[in-house]
Amino acid sequence: MVAADPSPIPWTTIGWVASWYGSNIGVLLLNKYLLTNYGFKYPIFLTLCHMTACSLLSYVAIAFMRVVPMQSVRSKIQLAKIAGLSVVFCFSVVCGNVSLRYLPVSFNQAIGATTPFFTAVLAFLMIKKREEWVTYSTLIPVVAGVIIASGGEPSFHLLGFIMCISATAARAFKSVLQEILLSSDGEKLNSMNLLLYMAPIAVICLLPATIIMEKNVVGITLDLARNDIKLIWYLLFNSSLAYFVNLTNFLVTKHTSALTLQVLGNAKGAVAVVVSILIFKNPVSFLGMLGYGLTVVGVILYSEAKKRYSS
């Protein structure tokens, strides 16, 4: 009996994957352009704009467009847990935006690819979650790749490197924390509803931080906008893209699987590196690209090992 041909991938799924790639790479490149080439040196305010847009657009998407059913917060304890996640989420986004002031996107993505390493280490330390030794061994090229890439990076900047490592570790910490805090069936929220509640809390956290650390940023932004109105459009478009990254991420997962999303994410990082080098023309070395390639190979091996030994 001849096996039936596999079903073709629906155009809707292809469309959502393309949208996810476009919004993800777009917000990354636009962040870089605003914070370095354009000279808008206010990463905390930029993150505040992102979170404000996520708050408003999340509500519109869920309450009016009904992209997903609205899930309610059931207790003050659950709200406190969401607030904790929001603070960590905030920290990771701010650190990521600060790092883009000092590092090229290519190196930023190389460091960001080490998220599985931090997730595995934190899961072991916090919840005693053990993986097979084969799975842990695949993390060696992940870390080795970043060490090689750091040594061969012409635009290496220590503060940018520390901020990027902090952002990556914070993303991993949020994943593990989310598994701990929202593990019961009554507390689980899908990613869109979680963003709906996290984003306004992030705004509340970022507002005083912006006022204290980036004094008179609103006045400065308005003065810059009087000279170049495009700045306002850049900020509005950039903030909207930040929300669509989350929306398309959810929809790609819904139409494929979490594992497929991981594979697509690895490829997306490579695409972002190539596009950023073409646009910003930042210098890259053979050693840097070799290190990044080794990290990506390590992440792919890690994903395969997780799939094989957890099934």
State the DSSP code for 288.
H
pLDDT in tens, 115-133: 889 999 999 999 888 888 9
Residue 132 covered by a domain: yes
Residue 6 covered by a domain: no
Residue 39 covered by a domain: yes
Confidence of residue 27 (pLDDT cuts 50, 70, 90): very high
Domain range for 68 is 11-310
Quote the pLDDT of residue 50: 97
Predicted TM-score (pTM) of this structure: 0.88
Q: Residue 75 corresponds to which amino acid?
A: S
Confidence of residue 255 (pLDDT cuts 50, 70, 90): confident
Quote the pLDDT of residue 182: 82
User: Residues 6 or more apart from 99 whose CB is under 8 A from it?
Assistant: 108, 111, 160, 161, 163, 164, 167
Quote the pLDDT of residue 252: 86
- How many helices, marked H, and strands, marked E, lie in the chain? 13, 0
Q: Using an 8 Å Cβ cutoff, are 303 and 262 in contact?
A: yes
Residue 257 covered by a domain: yes
Q: Judge whether residue 310 has pLDDT over 90.
A: no
Residue 3 covered by a domain: no
Average pLDDT over residues 66-71: 93
Residue 4 covered by a domain: no
Quote the pLDDT of residue 5: 46
- The DSSP code sequence of 4-22 is PPPPPPPHHHHHHHHHHHH
Q: Which has the closest alpha carbon to 47: 253, 217, 190? A: 217
Residue 276 covered by a domain: yes
Percentage of the chain modeled with pLDDT above 90: 58
Quote the pLDDT of residue 1: 45
- The DSSP code sequence of 154-195 is TT--HHHHHHHHHHHHHHHHHHHHHHHHT-STTT---HHHHH
Residue 2 covered by a domain: no
Quote the pLDDT of residue 10: 76
Confidence of residue 195 (pLDDT cuts 50, 70, 90): very high
Quote the pLDDT of residue 9: 61
Q: Judge whether residue 212 has pLDDT over 50.
A: yes
Structural domain count, the chain: 1
CA distance 275 to 105: 9
* Residue 103: CA count within 13 A, CB half-sphere: 29
